[in-house]
Amino acid sequence: MPAGERSERRVAGLTVTANGGKDTRDVADVVVVGAGTIGGWASWFARRNGAKRVVVIERDLAGQGASSRAAGIVRAQGGTREAVALGRWSIDFYNRQHDLLGTDSGFRELGYLLLAVTSRDEREGRERVAMQRADGLDARWLGVDEAVELNPTLAPNGFRGASYVATDGHIDPPRNVRAYSLAMQRSKVDLRERTAFTGLRCSGPRVVGVETSAGPIATERVILTGGPALRAVGRIAGATIPAGGARHQVAVSEPHDAFGVDRLPMVFDVGAGLYWRLEEGGLLWGMSNPDERPGRARTIDWTYLRRMQRRLRRFVPVTGDLGIRKVWAATIDYTPDHLPIIGPLITSDGEGVDGTVVASAAGHGMMWGPAVAKVAADLAVKGRTSVVDVSGFGLDRFDEQGRSPSYDPIALPFPIDLSDDPEE
């Protein structure tokens, strides 16, 4: 082939170029796809890791999706050792943000009670506390009376006890978007909104660039995020990523004196996937319906919301007389085993793409987002991380049906069958 010419061909959704296909007009050390919580923080961490030019492409606006519409729950009470590590790292980061950035995500420590409603819940909850304590987390098992003493709004019946960690809490999601947007701006990350990801450029097994709706960017490091859209991002890149999106609903009650306090532990009815916390002098409560078809949230499911409102009333009787102040629905991402995806892209033909990192928090963007973003940036820039053992977080853990040998039981009960997603 004559010097200066370039040949290209498409393989498994990738643009494969004979000479690397670098376009010197637009070059980056790292390109991040997606400006949600993970993509935003990952770009900042990449800059702190030494990447000189970091470009973030976002098809809409930064934080426009679930990142600004979440409930903001942050807990270290994970169901696996790795989940505990991710939660603890993220909480520590939220607590250090103001010193690091001069701004923060509004983390508020309230404590968290994870209720055991059945005997099985209690057995598994006690085992989980033992695991967490062995890893250094100050978790405790509380009887009913102890739980009610900590949260007097709870009815003293209907549950058998609860696990508790005092340092769990929540952030303010819109404030979190502001925090990482400011961090990106101050570290001179190049954010390109309304710019769609349209493909990868590869030379052999290595990525050498990304295709966007505004033209190609040459790079040897790419972090692929996308939250509920990650499956579509993978498809564009020639891969099948077992991640989906589902409707998640959040409501806030009118104010009440019982909730006009500085601290009251958050509560999670794990089996039903119903949680609640303080918000604006009232109670915020959220839920997902595992029996509905996965896909984009378009409307409020009032029938299911009222069903969960009645369940909430059983645990917190005072809410029975409270109206709903506001309610919203958002599309939240999930994986079949409720665990993150952090590792190289593997194309549909089974080939890994060197220089790529797929990063998903599996619906826990506020809870694990900073840690997942830090790990992704570490792997992209340094090739290693000390945050958590990521050997079990790669795409290679899933079989062709998206099944995994791993599982985190402490999660919202999302649909399992990704093949039923109408967005696919």
Per-residue pLDDT, 73: 97
Distance (Å, whole) CA 90 – CA 82: 12
**159: three-class secondary structure by DSSP:** coil
Instruction: State how far the Cα of 134 lies from the Cα of 139, in Å rounded to an integer.
Output: 10
| Run of H or E including 121 | helix 119-134
Determine the pLDDT at residue 20: 42
Of the chain, the end-to-end C-alpha distance in Å amounts to 40
pLDDT at 65: 85
**Right CATH for 11-67+174-244+337-420 from 3.30.70.120, 3.50.50.60, 3.30.565.10, 2.40.50.140:** 3.50.50.60
The segment(s) of the chain belonging to CATH 3.50.50.60 are: 11-67+174-244+337-420
Q: What residue type is 242 in one-letter code?
A: P
Distance in angstroms (rounded) separating the CA atoms of residues 334 and 231: 10
Q: Which two tokens stand for residue 23?
A: 């376009």
- In the DSSP assignment, the letter for residue 409 is S
- How far apart, in whole angstroms, are the C-alpha atoms of residue 240 and residue 418? 11
pLDDT (tens digit, 0 to 9) for every residue of the chain, 424 residues total? 443 444 443 433 444 433 344 444 799 999 999 999 999 999 999 999 999 999 999 999 999 888 998 999 999 999 999 999 999 999 999 999 999 999 999 999 999 999 999 999 999 999 999 999 999 999 999 999 999 999 999 999 999 999 999 999 999 999 999 999 999 999 999 999 999 999 999 999 999 999 999 999 999 999 999 999 999 999 999 999 999 999 999 999 999 999 999 999 999 999 999 999 999 999 999 998 988 888 888 899 999 999 999 999 999 999 999 999 999 999 999 999 999 999 999 998 899 999 999 999 999 999 999 999 999 999 999 999 999 999 999 999 999 888 999 999 999 887 766 655 544 4
DSSP 328: E
Angle at 380 between CA 375 and CA 382, to 5 degrees: 85
Q: DSSP states of 358-389 as a string?
A: EEE-TT-HHHHHHHHHHHHHHHHHTS--SSS-
**DSSP characters over 140-158:** EEE-HHHHHHH-TTS-SSS
Q: Which two tokens stand for residue 59?
A: 């098809």
Radius of gyration of the chain (CA): 22
Find out whether 265 and 110 touch, Cβ atoms under 8 Å: yes
> Per-residue DSSP letters for 271-305?
TTTEEEEEETTEEEEEE--TTSPPS---S--HHHH
Q: Are 274 and 50 in contact (CB under 8 A)?
A: no
pTM as predicted: 0.92
Give the CA angle between residues 175, 180, 186 to the nearest 5°.
125
Which token pair is 232? 């579509």
The predicted pLDDT at position 418 comes to 64
H or E element: which one contains 245? strand 244-253
Q: Among the CATH numbers 3.20.20.450, 3.30.9.10, 3.30.70.3280, 3.40.50.300, which is that of 112-163+246-334?
A: 3.30.9.10
- Distance in angstroms (rounded) separating the CA atoms of residues 235 and 13: 8
Distance CA 105, CA 318 (A): 30
| Strand-strand pairing, 169-170 and 108-109 | antiparallel
Enumerate the CATH 3.30.9.10 domain ranges in the chain, comma separated. Answer: 112-163+246-334
- Per the CB < 8 A criterion, the answer to whether 270 and 114 are in contact is yes
Phi-psi region of 381 (alpha: psi -120 to 50; beta: other; left: phi over 0): alpha
Note whether 248 and 65 are within 8 A (CB). Answer: no
